[in-house]
Amino acid sequence: MSVTAPQGFEAAGVAVGLKSTGKPDVAVVVNRGPLKVGAAVFTSNRAKANPIMWSQQVVQDGVVEAIVLNSGGANCFTGSFGFQTTHQTAEKAAQLLGVSAGDIVVCSTGLIGTGDDVFRAKVLAGTEHGIAELSADGGEAASLAIMTTDSRPKRAVAERDGWSIGGMAKGAGMLAPGLATMLVVITTDAVLDAAQADAALRNATGRTFDRLDSDGCMSTNDQVTLMVSGASGITPDFDEFAAALAEVSQDLAKQLQGDAEGASHDITIEVINALSEDDAVEVGRSVARNNLFKAAIFGNDPNWGRVLAAIGTTDAAFDPYDVDVWMNGVRVCTAGGPDRPREDVDLTPRATDLLIDLKIGAAAATILTNDLTHDYVHENSAYSS
Amino acid sequence: MSVTAPQGFEAAGVAVGLKSTGKPDVAVVVNRGPLKVGAAVFTSNRAKANPIMWSQQVVQDGVVEAIVLNSGGANCFTGSFGFQTTHQTAEKAAQLLGVSAGDIVVCSTGLIGTGDDVFRAKVLAGTEHGIAELSADGGEAASLAIMTTDSRPKRAVAERDGWSIGGMAKGAGMLAPGLATMLVVITTDAVLDAAQADAALRNATGRTFDRLDSDGCMSTNDQVTLMVSGASGITPDFDEFAAALAEVSQDLAKQLQGDAEGASHDITIEVINALSEDDAVEVGRSVARNNLFKAAIFGNDPNWGRVLAAIGTTDAAFDPYDVDVWMNGVRVCTAGGPDRPREDVDLTPRATDLLIDLKIGAAAATILTNDLTHDYVHENSAYSS
């Protein structure tokens, strides 16, 4: 059900030929209210796609009526023509829904630098077609239409006492902080105001999507949007809502990790006993971005030397000669030297746990990443050709 | 001839079984004077190998008598036993050469976390054996003994009017700023004092080895050492010497790039019209470290969108919508949109030129990198197993 699990939402996913495969490529999600609250976080990449620049303006007033998403083209670096395509998409949706274009969020994903008049015509047709097909159980169709190289749709729902949160996500590469080629739409029928929605969303993304760093590459098009209908009539405790939103976000983030392009291991990097959470994040990220470590995990090689070499490039507080490293429950390095033998570590399961004990404080953070594989290279060397 | 091209140096390379292949694995280079001036730069990784910690002390007084290098083991994270191995290596060389152990630089390269008593015995035997075989034309043998996954030795010589500079290098992966799994020894028979040697070396490495960023991974063992014999009796103009040293350094850096593990393209990233040189370096490095861009080049795909997405993650001064990108002489992006068609770019040659025009200032920098290939993943997933 994804985004249509909560009351007050309709969605659709349609095919208009943006994908050469003929699969669905335009999704629409509409908030039927009574509230029309929206919040969003965007990529921190300074090279922003046209739909990002548009949508950043849309969410400023905390009102979002609907969101139109297309796969099959990022509409990034497509000049003023591309921005007009985004604008016309919002105008088209607004006209058909009888609302203001300034309350329509637009998202695009696909190849950068493409977005000609054929692209525009298809996106506009998809917007019209999608709105005609809106239904209260269209969440599944919408989640299929936003897929690019994803092998499966990503959906999550959290049910609470009389209210719920639903979400869908796409993304399978370019997963990195400040978000990734990741589009996420989350809906709720709980009652929240715009400030609460924004605060809960920033809290959730900061510790979930922002800590998914599959390949260190940051996208130009990333966006996570929360839409609030309030249709349940229930006003949950804020902390309870924030926790449920973080749960849905983490569920989707793990699904993104599990479907990352070409990956054969889902690596959970847990950094403990850091002096600060920032230090823990920095250390975890440095390992998550180390190609030599990632290639070693692909080879089922518990090469802890590469972990320490990666940590050593950070400014975090720690003593390189007093760090413990555990892989899948086996302490392979302690106090600047080898501990248990490499042979004791079984890296054949897809789920891989790396625990780094900095032994200098009490803060912790977890970063999710993937290994570096032949398939990753293959998929990303052939994507646009 | 490499390090024995200049007068006043002897070298050797011997095999003592550190490499399972039986190939040469210990090299010795000795400065016969009359000057015994030395300078070195080291990895900026905080996780430093034992030979780095030792050698940093050795070069502090500007005197280096000899250098002992081994492949087949990095002697990093091997505890105090490993540090004693380095110390004993220096003591052994000093005793045999009749000099102070405090003037013997030691370098190691190979797998992190290995360095037991068998390793120690072999390194000590290699030191003894190498010193017994020293000769004035041993530079070639020495350059072979420091190879690890290198497919060929790296050597360079600059001849000037009565004096010369010679160098050797090893390194084929983990090439990144702050140096890489890169060991370099450079010799000269020009007359320089310790301060001049240090200044010339820092100038040269800062613009050559430090701008080689093959895979973004920084080693624990990197070191570039300059040894000055003064045997030519000629005191060159400092700027002339610095230029010759930079020439030899760049020659070796390009050989390292050309032999990087698994690479199929040598990519020269030239950033021009930046506001500052630091900005140009930051922009170049962000592209050099972008796996999606590197995989695209492997696939001969002129995916300029990934270049802009990488630049967008930096803090450099520029307008993302007023940047030009050229690939192998073809302007594929200008002013935030596509320019010449992708099909016009021929990426089949190994030498690949990426030119990024930031159009905001007058500074420039060049970063050398490689593509991300199946072979890179293969070699680095199987290295320690």
For chain A, the domain total comes to: 2
Closest in A47, A82, A313 to B218, CB measured: A313
The pairing of beta strand B324-327 with beta strand B351-357? antiparallel
When pLDDT is averaged across residues A156-164 and rounded to a whole number, the result is 95
Q: Does the pLDDT value for residue B364 go beyond 50? A: yes
When pLDDT is averaged across residues A21-29 and rounded to a whole number, the result is 96
Could you tell me if B171 and B53 are in contact, meaning their C-beta atoms sit under 8 angstroms apart?
no
Is A174 in the B-facing interface, judged by CB distances under 8 Å? yes
Is B384 in the A-facing interface, judged by CB distances under 8 Å? yes
Query: What's the CA gap between A283 and A291, in Å, rounded?
Result: 15
pLDDT digits (tens, 9 = 90+) for A107-132: 998 888 888 899 999 999 999 999 99
Cβ within 8 Å, pair A290-B111? no
State whether A344 and A368 are in the same domain.
yes
| Residue whose tokens read 């274009």 | A101
Q: Which of A76, A108, A217, A283 to mutate to test the interface with B (most CBs of B within 10 A)?
A: A217
State whether B246 and B271 are in the same domain.
no
Most confident option among A305-314, B38-47, B119-128, B251-260 = B119-128
ipTM of the complex: 0.80
Active-site option among B181, B187, B188, B220:
B181
The residue among A151 and B5 whose pLDDT is bigger is B5
Residue B213: its pLDDT value, please? 80
Q: Look at residues A288, A305, A294, A287 and name the one whose alpha carbon lies nearest to residue A347.
A: A294
Q: Does the pLDDT value for residue A1 go beyond 80? A: no
Q: Which of A228, A258, A288 is where one domain is finished?
A: A258
Q: What is the DSSP string of B134-159?
A: -BTT-HHHHHHHT-SS-SS-EEEEEE
CB under 8 Å to A169, separation ≥6 — which residues?
A154, A155, A156, A182, A183, A184, A185, A252, A253, A255, A256
Cβ within 8 Å, pair A383-B76? no
Could you tell me if A373 and A296 are in contact, meaning their C-beta atoms sit under 8 angstroms apart?
no
Q: Does the pLDDT value for residue B228 go beyond 80? A: yes
Q: Which of A234, A258, A282 is where one domain is finished?
A: A258
What is the enclosing helix (H) or strand (E) of A318? Answer: none
Cβ within 8 Å, pair B309-A178? no
Q: Does the pLDDT value for residue B180 go beyond 50? A: no
The residue among B190 and A290 whose pLDDT is bigger is B190
Residue B136: its pLDDT value, please? 97
* Least reliable range by pLDDT among A178-182, B196-200, B369-373: A178-182
Q: Does the pLDDT value for residue A337 go beyond 60? A: yes
> Crossing angle for the helix pair B291-298 and A374-381, nearest 10 degrees?
70
Residue B383: its pLDDT value, please? 52
Domain holding A354: CATH number?
A: 3.10.20.340
Could you tell me if B167 and B156 are in contact, meaning their C-beta atoms sit under 8 angstroms apart?
yes
State whether A215 and A326 are in the same domain.
no
State whether B209 and B327 are in the same domain.
no
State whether B160 and B114 are in the same domain.
yes
The residue among A77 and A354 whose pLDDT is bigger is A354
Residue B212: its pLDDT value, please? 85
Q: Does the pLDDT value for residue A296 go beyond 60? A: yes
Q: Does the pLDDT value for residue B384 go beyond 70? A: no
Residue A316: its pLDDT value, please? 95
State whether A181 and A324 are in the same domain.
no
| Number of other residues whose CB lies within 10 A of the CB of residue A162 | 12
Is B351 in the A-facing interface, judged by CB distances under 8 Å? no
Residue A385: its pLDDT value, please? 37
When pLDDT is averaged across residues B7-27 and rounded to a whole number, the result is 96
The tokens of B307 are what?
């270049």
State whether A184 and A319 are in the same domain.
no
Residue A199: its pLDDT value, please? 96
Q: Which chain B residues are closer than 8 Å to A321 by Cβ?
A: 77
First-to-last alpha carbon distance for chain B, in angstroms, is: 34
Residue A174: its pLDDT value, please? 46
State whether A142 and A66 are in the same domain.
yes
Q: Which of B292, B324, B342 to mutate to test the interface with A (most CBs of A within 10 A)?
A: B292
Could you tell me if A235 and A191 are in contact, meaning their C-beta atoms sit under 8 angstroms apart?
yes
Residue B167: its pLDDT value, please? 94
State whether B227 and B285 are in the same domain.
no
Residue A186: its pLDDT value, please? 95
Q: Which chain B residues are closer than 8 Å to A311 by Cβ?
A: 46-47
State whether A141 and A242 are in the same domain.
yes
State whether A329 and A291 are in the same domain.
yes
> In which band, very low, low, confident or very high, does the pLDDT at B81 lie, cut at 50, 70 and 90?
very high
Q: Is A380 annotated as a binding residue?
A: yes
Type of residue numbered A96: L
Beta bridge partners of B360: none
Cβ within 8 Å, pair B383-A303? yes
Kindly report the length of chain B. Answer: 385
pLDDT digits (tens, 9 = 90+) for B264-322: 999 999 999 999 999 999 999 999 988 889 999 999 999 898 899 889 889 999 998 89
Q: What is the DSSP string of A76-142?
A: -S-HHHHHHHHHHHHHHHHHHHTS-GGGEEEEEBS-TT---HHHHHHHHHHHHHHHHT-BTT-HHHH
Cβ within 8 Å, pair A295-B178? no
When pLDDT is averaged across residues B250-269 and rounded to a whole number, the result is 90
Domain holding A254: CATH number?
A: 3.60.70.12
Q: Which of A217, A238, A258 is where one domain is finished?
A: A258
A334 is catalytic: no
Expressed as residue numbers, the domain containing A154 is 2-258
The tokens of A311 are what?
């940590």
State whether A195 and A333 are in the same domain.
no
